[in-house]
Amino acid sequence: MADLWTSKLSEYVDGTLSAADRQALEGHLVDCGDCRVVLDDLQRIVSGASALGDQAPTADLWPGIEGRIRPSVTDIRDLGAERRRRWRVSLTLPQLAAAGIALMLVSFALASQLGPRSTTTTASSGDTAPVLHVGTARSQAVFAQAVAELQEILESGRGRLDSTTIRALETNLAIIDRAISEAQQAVSADSANGYLRDHLEQTQRRKLDVMRRAADLIAVAS
Amino acid sequence: MAASGDPSAFERLYQRHVARVHSLARRMLDYELADEITQDVFVRAWEKLHTFRGEAAFGTWLHRLAVNVILARRGTLGKQRQRYTESDAPLEMMPARTGEPGTGMDLEQAMARLPDGARQVFVLHDVEGYRHEEIASMLGLAEGTSKSQLHRARMALRQHLTA
Amino acid sequence: MFIATALLALAAAGQADTTFAVSTNDRLSLEHHAGSVEIRVWDRDEVQIMSDDDDPTIQVDRAGSAVRVGRRGRHATHGADYQIRVPAWLPITFNGVNTDFTVRGMAASVRGNTVNGDIWIIGGSGLVSIRAINGDATVERVTGRVDVESVDGDVAAMDIVGLLKASTVDGDVTLERITSESVDGSTVDGDVFFSGKVHQDGRYKLATHDGDVTFLVPEEVDATVKVSTFSGDFESDFPFTITKLGGNSRRFTFALGSGSAEIILEAFDGTIALRRAGDN
C-alpha cells in the first residue's frame, strides 16, 4: 500500500498528477507520516537539483578546441605548382637572402598589401595558433603577427615574472629563433623539400607555444 | 562575429558557456570523460554555427546541441569501455571504489552513484528542466518510463543522502 | 552548489598535519608556490598533508567533488616542503611556481605544472600530463597516456605502456623501455633516444633540430623507416635498401621486415642512428 502512494509522490512534486489522484494522495498524506517525510525529502532533492550551479573544468579546454577548429597543415610535401610559384616569386625579392628577419620584413610588407588578416589575434594570454602553411607569404605574415602580439604581452608583463623564469624563457626563445633562422635559410635554398618546410613549421609552432606559455604565466601572476 | 567564423569571438562564447556544458557532461556521463566531451561539443557547435539563426538564445541552442553530443556518445560508451579494459593502453578509467557508508555526501556525489539511465533522466528533468515528453524523445523511451526512472532516481538519491 | 570551506590553522610547533577524508569521484587540486611537494600513496581514503613550515596555514576548499589545497595569507609564497599521502585512486592536479614535485605510486590520473622546478612521476594510470618550464620532467612506470613537456630541461619517460608524447626545447628526450603504438619525442637543442617495442601498426617519431637521434630497434622488427636531415648524417646497424629518395640524399625511406610500422627520424643537424637492441 505504501509503495502505491510513494510511487505517486514524484508526480505530485512535479504537479503532473490528475486532479482525482492528487486529491486522493493529499487525503492519504494527512494520515501518513512516513509519506510526508518522503515527500519532504523529494522536494528538497528537487530544489537542490534545480539550484545546482555549474562548475568550469579545472583544465583550460580552449587550446584543444582551438586546435581542432583551425585548419591545420597535414602533408605539405605535395604542394601544388601554384604554391611553388608564389614561393618562388617571394624568393626573387632582394630582401630574401639568408636572414629570417628579412623574410619577416617581407612578410609584413605583403601582409599590409593583402589587407585584413585572415585570423584574429587578440592581445591576451593563451591565444591563437595561426595557420602555418609554410611556403606562403601570407602564412609567414600570420606567424609574424602572432609573434609580434605575443611579444607585446611579454614585454608589458615581464615585470610580473621572476628573473629566473625570464632568463629561462629568453634563453630558450633565442634557441628557437636560431633554429627558425637556420631552417628558413635551408628552406630558401631548397624550397621543394617537404621535410624542411615541416621542420620550419614545427619550430615556429614551438616558438608560439613557448610564448603563449609565458603569456599564461604573466596572466596568472597578475 | 562568431557566426561568421571568428575564432576569437567563439572563444568568448566558450568562456561564457563552458561551465554549463562541462557540468552537463560530467553529470550525464562521467567526470573522466567530461573534458573530452566538452571539447567535442564546442567543436560541433563551431561546425554548426552556420545553422544558428538567433531565434533562441545561443545558450539554449548550445545546450541542446550538447545534449545531442552527449547522448550520441552514450551509445558508444559501452563498446569503448570494453575496448579500454581489453587494450594494453587504457585511457582514463575511474578506479572501482565503493563509498563508505555513513560518510554523508552532497547531491553531486550522490548523483554520480545512480545507475546511468536513472541519472540521465534525473539530470535532464530536475537539473536541466526538460519535460518528460522531451526526455522520452531524446533517450528513446516511453514517457511513462521516463517518469518511473525519475522517481527511481529521486528515491535512490534520498537513500544516499540520508544514509 | 554545496561548498564547504575549511581554514585550518595549526598551532603545533615545527610540524603541521592536515588530514581530511575523500571519497569516490573526488579529485585533488594542489597549489604550491615555493618549496617541494612529495606525494605518496597509502591505503586510507584520506589525504594527509605534513609540512615542516613553522607557521603553516593550509587551506582546504571543497566545491562538489573538487578538493583544492593551497596556502593562504602571508606564508603563501614562502618556501615550504610538503609530504602528502593520498589514496592511489584519487586523481590529482598540481601547480607550482618555484616547486619540485615528486609523485609516487598513483593509480589514477596525474596532471601538473611547475615553472621553476623538477617534476618526477613514478606510477600512474590514465592520463599523466606534466609540464615544466625551467626544470626536468620525468615519468616512470605509467600505463595510459603520457604527455611530458619542458622548455629548459631534460625530459625522460621510462617503462611506459600507452601513448607517449615528450618534448622540450633545450634538453634531451630519453624514452626507454616503451610499449606503445604512438610515440612522439622532440627537442630543439638536444638529443632524442628511444628504446622499446615496435608495434606492427605503430608510429614512432623522433625529431631534433640540433642534436642526435638514436632509435634502438628490436631484433625482429617490421617498420618503414623515414630518415630526414639537412646537414647531419645517418648510421645504421641494419643493412637497408633505399626504397624512396627525397630530392637529395639526405631524405630517404627504407623498409625493415614487412615495413608495417612507421619510424620517422629527423635531425636538422646531427647524427641519426638506428641501433640494434642488444648491441648496447
What's the confidence (pLDDT) of residue B55? 53
- What's phi and psi for C251, nearest 5 deg? -135, 120
pLDDT category at C56 given cuts 50, 70, 90 is low
Q: What is the DSSP string of C113-132?
A: EEEES-EEEEEEEEEEEEEE
Which pLDDT does position C75 carry in this prediction?
54
Taking contacts as CB-CB distances below 8 angstroms, the residues of chain B near A149 are none
How far from C156 is each of B37, B86, C36, C140, C175, CA to CA, in Å? 30, 27, 20, 8, 6
Q: Residue count of chain C, please give it.
A: 280
pTM: 0.57
The per-residue pLDDT for C198 is 94
Determine the Cα–Cα distance for residues B58 and B62; give it in Å rounded to an integer.
6
User: Inter-chain contact A9–B151, Cβ cutoff 8 Å?
Assistant: yes
pLDDT of residue C9: 30
* A58 Cβ neighbours under 8 A, 6+ residues apart: C27, C29, C66, C93
CB contact under 8 A, C24 and B93: no
Instruction: Write down the pLDDT at residue A122.
Output: 32
A92: pLDDT strictly greater than 70: no
Locate C276 and state its grid cell: 640494434
**C270 close to C173: Cβ distance less than 8 angstroms:** no
Strands C192-196 and C213-217: parallel
pLDDT at res. B60: 80
Residue A111: pLDDT over 90: no
What are B's interface residues with C at a Cβ cutoff of 8 A? 31-32, 88-95, 97-100, 103, 105-109, 112-113
Distance CA B39, CA B140 (A): 25
| Residue owning grid cell 609567414 | A140
Q: What is the pLDDT of chain C when averaged over all its residues?
A: 86
- CB spacing of C268 vs A199 below 8 angstroms: yes
Kindly indicate the confidence band of residue C141, based on its pLDDT and cuts at 50, 70 and 90. very high
Q: In the prediction, which pLDDT does C127 show?
A: 85
Give the angle subtended at the CA of C166 by the CAs of C230 and A197, to the nearest 5°: 30
Distance of CA C95 to the CA centre of its chain: 14
- DSSP annotation of C189 reads B
**How does strand C155-167 pair with strand C173-178?**
parallel
E strands of A34-151, at which residues?
A: none
Ramachandran bin of B86, using left for φ above 0, alpha for ψ from -120 to 50, beta for the remaining angles: alpha
Tens of pLDDT, residue by residue over A142-193, are 888 889 888 888 888 888 888 888 899 999 999 999 999 999 999 998 888 8
Confidence of residue A1 (pLDDT cuts 50, 70, 90): very low
Question: So what's the pLDDT on residue B106?
Answer: 86
pLDDT at B156 over 60: yes
A97 touches chain C (CB under 8 A): no
**Residue C133 confidence (pLDDT) above 90:** yes
Instruction: Using the Cα atoms of residue A38, residue A42, residue A48 and residue A52 in order, give the sign of their dihedral.
Output: positive
